[in-house]
């Protein structure tokens, strides 16, 4: 029989620690910014920029400037309303000082400061202060410029006046704390990617990024009036798109604003990106569930309505209709519920209902108004009975050549724009005419055609060899999360 172990160390009230103020952030920074590596370093910038973007979402700001200074410090300037500078009635200090020194303090808890915002927990600015060696803040409000100086979560110099000004907005300059971070050098490319994405998601907002390190200043300006439609076009710019027009819709359902843009290309993979109040939800959530459900249902309903799937045929699966899809789903929610401060997954149930309702309505209308648009599965086309569309595709791919014996034959046009799905569609259709087929379909599971009397060979051109398809191994579907692209570019 084993002996009971003897415990020599005492465990009493003296071992219970109480972390005051921002001590918890410095003790466990990963809980607030994900890590203390390069990812966490850049997350500091995102927190400050997101606060400025919230001003833009409210209609108060249209310019944000982000500078990387020679000493690898960061400054962010916006032309919004400026952080409040009056004395807070409960704390007796300036509201600006509270914003940067108190966790869970801000104008995003339903007090009327913001209708929608990406910052939800009131920890962004204060966390950046807690994890910075120093931070300097300038606020331009009501004709007066104010200054505030902080370090490692503490106030060094309370709010003071700098003088008169005609500007409005907030300027924040900070240096990440080397006691916290393993990496202290900012990547221009990482910031460029994130800020470009933010500009796409906020119509009319101009974002300027400057890198002042080195001899020559690098600068990029991002400003997109087309919003997420331009985002989809940017992602697909190096891909062969199935149709030029980008589907776009926006509507509000139950106080959830929904904006969706999508387009198909000839690749096998899916590129779907989702955002909630401009925050990239890389792990998806209820809005993505609603989008995928509505997309699959709407395409299958349309296909059955117009007899593009046999009566007893199987519906297209979700993987089928998302093959080759590039989509952006951006929603604005009054009170979004994320799983953590990193905000990678949404849990609001009303978001699913809103996205499903909007996409069902607008995509159904889009398909019926645009029968020549192929959408869905790569070998499935909702335009198979459209003569004009077939003639256009055929003219691009097949030409008729006169032979010495007086006969004619089809041959593939040299250097035509390759697209395996459309090539096969054209070949099947042309073959149907060659055999004198009266009724046909391009879908893989089409019923046997009704054959009529064939025309003389001297009239109907001979068929070319079938289009050369890229060799494909039997596809084994990976879990959806592993198929999600890790980066937008």
What DSSP element (H or E) covers 45? helix 38-57
**What is the 8-class DSSP label of residue 159?**
E
Domains contained in the chain, CATH given = 23-222 (3.30.565.10), 228-381 (3.30.230.10), 384-477 (no CATH)
Condensed to tens digits (0 to 9), the pLDDT of residues 214-251 reads 888 999 999 999 999 999 999 999 898 888 889 999 99
Predicted TM-score (pTM) above 0.85: no
Closest C-alpha to 331, from 404, 381, 278: 278
How crowded is residue 108: how many other Cβ atoms within 10 Å of its Cβ? 21
Residue 11: predicted pLDDT: 60
Taking alpha carbons only, the member of 126, 128, 130, 83 closest to residue 103 is: 126
CA distance 375 to 463: 27
If one compares 441 and 262, the residue with the highest pLDDT of the two is: 262
Query: How confident is residue 198, by pLDDT bands cut at 50, 70 and 90?
Result: very high
Q: Is 19 left (phi over 0), alpha (psi -120 to 50) or beta?
A: beta
Q: Cβ atoms within 10 A of the Cβ of 288, count?
A: 23
257 burial level (CB within 10 Å; 0-12, 13-18, 19+): middle
pLDDT at 398 over 70: yes
Per the listing, tokens 């955002």 go with 275
Buried b (16+ CB within 10 A) or exposed e, 302-323: bbeeeebbeeeeeebebbbbbb
**Amino acid 458: pLDDT:** 37
Once rounded to an integer, what is the mean pLDDT over residues 270-291? 91
% the chain with pLDDT above 70 = 70
Are 303 and 367 in contact by the 8 Å Cβ rule? The answer is: no
Look at residue 7 in the predicted model and tell me its pLDDT.
Answer: 57
Question: What DSSP state is assigned to residue 374?
Answer: -
The predicted structure's pLDDT at residue 9: 63
In the DSSP assignment, the letter for residue 263 is E
Confidence at residue 222, expressed as pLDDT on a 0 to 100 scale = 96
Alpha helix (H) residue ranges in 203-312: 228-235, 286-305
The mean pLDDT of the chain is: 78
pLDDT tens, residue by residue, 16-33: 565 666 888 888 888 888
**Measured between alpha carbons, how far is 381 from 427 in angstroms, rounded to an integer?**
14
Instruction: Read off the pLDDT band of 130 (50, 70, 90).
Output: very high
| Range with top average pLDDT, 324-338, 416-430, 432-446 | 324-338
The predicted pLDDT at position 432 comes to: 54
The confidence band for 488, taking pLDDT boundaries of 50, 70 and 90, is very low
CA 454 from centre of chain: 53
| Locus of tokens 């042309």 | 430
Q: Which residues contact 420 (CB under 8 A, 6 or more apart)?
A: 266, 378, 467, 469, 470
């Amino acid at each position: 029989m084993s002996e009971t172990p003897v415990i020599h160390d005492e465990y009493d009230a003296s071992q219970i620690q109480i972390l005051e103020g921002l001590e918890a952030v410095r003790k466990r920074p990963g809980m607030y910014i994900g890590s203390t590596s390069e990812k966490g370093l850049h997350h500091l910038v995102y927190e400050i920029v997101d606060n400025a973007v919230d001003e833009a979402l409210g209609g108060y700001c249209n310019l944000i400037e982000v500078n990387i200074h020679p000493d690898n410090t960061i400054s962010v300037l916006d032309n919004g309303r400026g952080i409040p500078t009056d004395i807070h009635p409960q704390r007796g200090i300036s509201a600006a000082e509270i914003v940067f020194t108190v966790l869970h303090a801000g104008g995003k808890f339903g007090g009327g400061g913001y209708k929608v915002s990406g910052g939800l927990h009131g920890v962004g600015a204060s966390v950046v202060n807690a994890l910075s060696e120093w931070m300097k803040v300038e606020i331009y409000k009501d004709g007066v410029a104010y200054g505030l100086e902080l370090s490692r979560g503490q106030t060094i110099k309370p709010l003071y006046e700098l003088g008169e000004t005609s500007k409005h907005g907030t300027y924040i300059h900070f240096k990440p704390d080397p006691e916290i971070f393993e990496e202290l050098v900012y990547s221009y490319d990482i910031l460029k990617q994130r800020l470009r994405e933010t500009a796409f998601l906020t119509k009319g907002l101009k974002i300027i990024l400057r890198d002042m390190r080195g001899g020559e200043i690098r600068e990029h300006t991002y400003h997109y009036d087309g919003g997420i439609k331009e985002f989809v076009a940017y992602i697909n710019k190096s891909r062969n798109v199935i149709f030029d027009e980008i589907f776009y819709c926006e509507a509000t359902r139950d106080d959830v604003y929904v904006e969706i843009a999508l387009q198909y290309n000839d690749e096998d993979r899916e590129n779907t990106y989702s955002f909630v109040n401009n925050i990239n939800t890389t792990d998806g959530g209820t809005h993505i569930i609603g989008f995928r459900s509505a997309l699959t249902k709407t395409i299958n309903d349309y296909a059955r309505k117009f007899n593009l799937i046999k009566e007893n045929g199987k519906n297209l699966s979700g993987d089928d209709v998302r093959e080759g899809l590039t989509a952006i789903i951006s929603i604005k929610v009054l009170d979004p519920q994320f799983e953590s401060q990193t905000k990678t997954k949404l849990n609001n149930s009303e978001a699913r209902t809103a996205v499903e309702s909007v996409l069902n309505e607008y995509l159904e209308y889009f398909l019926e108004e645009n029968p020549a648009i192929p959408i869905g599965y790569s070998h499935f086309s909702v335009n198979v009975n459209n003569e004009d569309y077939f003639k256009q595709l055929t003219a691009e791919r097949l030409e008729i050549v006169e032979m010495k014996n007086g006969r004619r034959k089809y041959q593939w046009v040299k250097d035509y724009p390759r697209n395996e799905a459309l090539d096969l569609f054209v070949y099947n259709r042309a073959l149907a005419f060659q055999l004198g087929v009266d009724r046909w379909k391009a879908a893989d599971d089409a019923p046997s055609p009704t054959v009529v009397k064939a025309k003389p060979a001297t009239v109907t051109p001979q068929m070319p060899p079938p289009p050369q398809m890229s060799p494909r191994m039997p596809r084994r579907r990976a879990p959806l999360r592993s198929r999600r692209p890790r980066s937008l570019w």
